[in-house]
Structures are given as structure tokens and as C-alpha cells.
Structure 1
Amino acid sequence: MTVSAGSTDILTRLRQEARPSHDALEANEFNQALTAGTISEAATARFLAKLYGFVVPFEEQLRAHSHWFGPEWELERRFRSPLLRQDLPAANSLPLAPNLPPLHTRAQLLGALYVLEGSTLGGQVIARQLAKNGIPTRAYFSGHAEQTGPLWKSFVQLLAAAATPETADEIIASASLTFQRLHQWIEQA
């Protein structure tokens, strides 16, 4: 797949314009404990439970609008709620986030998908840090294992090809709002 120079602008803009929301999300209590080496299995389980509450309704919305995405997107392969269910035996009784960002247009879904797909890369880092701290590996953080990089690269190429000058602002706004809503949900007691 060839990506034109103009369509690459969406990726640069996403990295730059969504950065403040991304950085705020990464400053959460779990990541601070992880970085400090004070992470526990209980804190990891709480964090995974929060992720479950956000990922499950997001993936339901994506499934409901999957007609906007061709087979090249490999949506089912990208879904990570099964990994969370594997990590959390009582997952079906966990609360779901009531305040997802709007996911009513393809551009909104693309922006949110950028956040969730990007978390597969962060999950790899978290998995290594958990192992370093003696916390058992979690399926969610291991994600797609050795396929994480290739799937991310594929996603980025598809996103760059799908974005247009008319949809770029909406994609970026959705990514920023997704970071913000995920952060609010994780920090909520």
C-alpha cells in the first residue's frame, strides 16, 4: 500500500495535537507505580478492570459500524476484549464506561481506533515493566505479541490512506477526546 505525502500529515498531526491528552493519560496512578517499581498485582488487576470497562463498549461500537471498514482493516483480529476476559475471570460483572467519546462517524471511529491501536505498543512496554517487577504477564499487555509491530504499521498505513483533508480535524478531535475520556474513566474511583 502506498501512502501519499499529504496523507502522512494526519499521523504527524495526531502525534502533535493529541499529545497533551496522551501525556495526561500516561500520568495515571498505574503508570506512576509501574515506573517507580511499586506496582502490585492488585493494582494491575484494577487497571485491567478499568481498561475492560472502556474497551468493551468501544469494540461494540466499532462492531456496529464495521461496514465502514473493509477486510484489510482486520478489525476482529485487532479486538482485545477477549484478552481482557482472559486476564479477568469475573470480567462480565465489571462496570462499563458510561461516557465514551462520540463514535457515530467513520472519522470519529478512526480517531478512537488510533488511541486503542496505539495502546498495543504501550502494552508491550508495560508487559516488560511488569515482568521486571515480578508481576505475571497479562494477555492484554502482550496483545498481538510479535505481530504487534506489523499490525500497528498496517493500521497507520490504512489510517493515512483513509484520512482526507475534510475528515482530518474530526479524526484528531476524536483521538484527543478518546484519550481524555479514557483518562477520566481510569481515574474515576
Structure 2
Amino acid sequence: MPPVQSPPAAPSVLNDLRAGTHTLHVALEQRLPFFSDTLDLGFYTRLLSAYFGFYQALEDRLTHSAFIPSGFDLAARLKTPALVQDLRALGVDPHALPRCQHLPTVRSEAQALGVLYVLEGATLGGNVLRKRVAEHLGLDADNGGAFLFVYGEDTGQHWKAFIEFLGSVPLDATGRSEAAQAACSTFSCFEQWLDRQEVLL
């Protein structure tokens, strides 16, 4: 009798999220102006203003959502306060800025995780952008660059903790699909918003 083989392990939600968002992620990265020769202080300020309009609206939705998984400390991971700090340092009143109205749906824990995956992943990527902004514009956490270094030296540890949390939430195939769709929607909504604010290449 041949040995009994275990069934292949179900793909993790992280794999589904990475695979599902790859094309949208790459497309958006190529349109962000951080490494463009046109990036000056004025353009950067407009870009951060657009980021604020999206992040503030989306984080407000998450804060009032009943679907943030138990055990996830959302308050500790909000990026809007850092954006407010940066905009004020750059002479912008955040309260006067427009807010994005077209946001991803958050009607399940899986959808919440998909949205959070995009926001946390963007924070991890902010480390590279922070160095560019520091070198090119002379900005740091005190004068307009706090958002790109919101977790400071703990960025890698925060990402690792998020991935561990993501893997701890039990999701079936439907849940993993919902998470991936919500992540894709987050990328799409963000790109469309930045496009409307005319800050993309």
C-alpha cells in the first residue's frame, strides 16, 4: 500500500494578497513621483496633501468599523497624525483639504485585513521614499518627512508583527478572496484619487 500523502497546504492569505495585488502595486509605484526630476518641495506638498485626503478618510472608516479583527491595535498604526504633522510643518492646513469619497468597502474582517495589508505595506515601502526625500528635499521627521518614517527604526518589526497577525486570523478560501479583492480595491481607489488630485506621473 502506498504511503498516505498529506494534502498540500492551503495557500496563506499573504500569498493571495501578494499575488492578487502585484500588478496594481507595480503600476502605482511606476506613477508615483518620488523619484521624478519634477519632485520639488511644492510638488511634494501637493502629494502629501493628496495622501492626507485618502488616508484620513480611509482611517476614519476603519476606526469606526466593527470589523477590525480582535487583538489588532489600529490606533497604534494610524498614519493620519503624521500626515497632519507634516502638512502643518509645510504650511498647509489639513482641515482645508478635500477628502476622498470613493473608498474600499469594509464589511467583513477579511476586507479589513485586505485594506490594512495595503496600508501597512505602503508604510514598509516608505523607508525607501524617506531616504529619497531626505536627500533630495532635505526633509526629515521634524520638517515634513514624518509620514514616510512613521514607525521609525521599528518599521521592519511592525511589518513582521502585522504579517504574524495576518496569519493568525483564520480565513477560508472565500475570506482570502475577499481580503485580496479589498486590497485590490484599496490600490485602485488610491490611484484614482491621486490621479484626480493630479499628483501622479
- Global fold match (TM > 0.5): yes
1:7 and 1:139 map into 2 onto residues whose CA distance is 39
* Structure 1 position 67, deviation (Å): 6.1
Contact 1:24 1:183 in 2 (8 A): no
User: Size of the alignment, in residue pairs?
Assistant: 181
* Structure 1 position 46, deviation (Å): 0.9
Contact 1:80 1:140 in 2 (8 A): yes
Q: Which amino acid aligns with 2:181?
A: A
Q: Normalising by the residue count of structure 2, what TM-score does the alignment of the two structures yield?
A: 0.83
Higher helix share: 1
The correspondence of residues 45-84 of structure 1 with structure 2, limited to 5 A, is 45-65=45-65, 68-70=68-70, 72-84=71-83
Contact 1:28 1:187 in 2 (8 A): no
The two structures, once aligned, show a CA RMSD in angstroms of 1.8
The correspondence of residues 4-153 of structure 1 with structure 2, limited to 5 A, is 6=9, 9-30=12-33, 34-65=34-65, 68-70=68-70, 72-89=71-88, 90-137=93-140, 138-153=145-160
Larger Rg: 2
2:188 and 2:68 map into 1 onto residues whose CA distance is 25
1:116 and 1:83 map into 2 onto residues whose CA distance is 14
2:48 and 2:170 map into 1 onto residues whose CA distance is 31
Alpha-carbon deviations, 1:126-173, whole Å to 9, x = none? 100111213312110111111111111111111122141230000000
Moved more, 6-15 or 105-114: 6-15
Equivalent position SS for 2:178? helix
Q: Which ranges of 4 or more aligned residues in structure 1 deviate by more than 3 Å? A: 5-8
Structure 1 regions of 5+ residues with no counterpart? Answer: none
- Percent identity between the aligned chains? 30
Query: Structure 1 residues 51, 74: closer, same or farther in 2, change over 3 A?
Result: same
- Could you say which residue in structure 2 is the equivalent of 1:164? 171
Q: Which amino acid aligns with 1:148?
A: T
Structure 2 regions of 5+ residues with no counterpart? Answer: 1-7
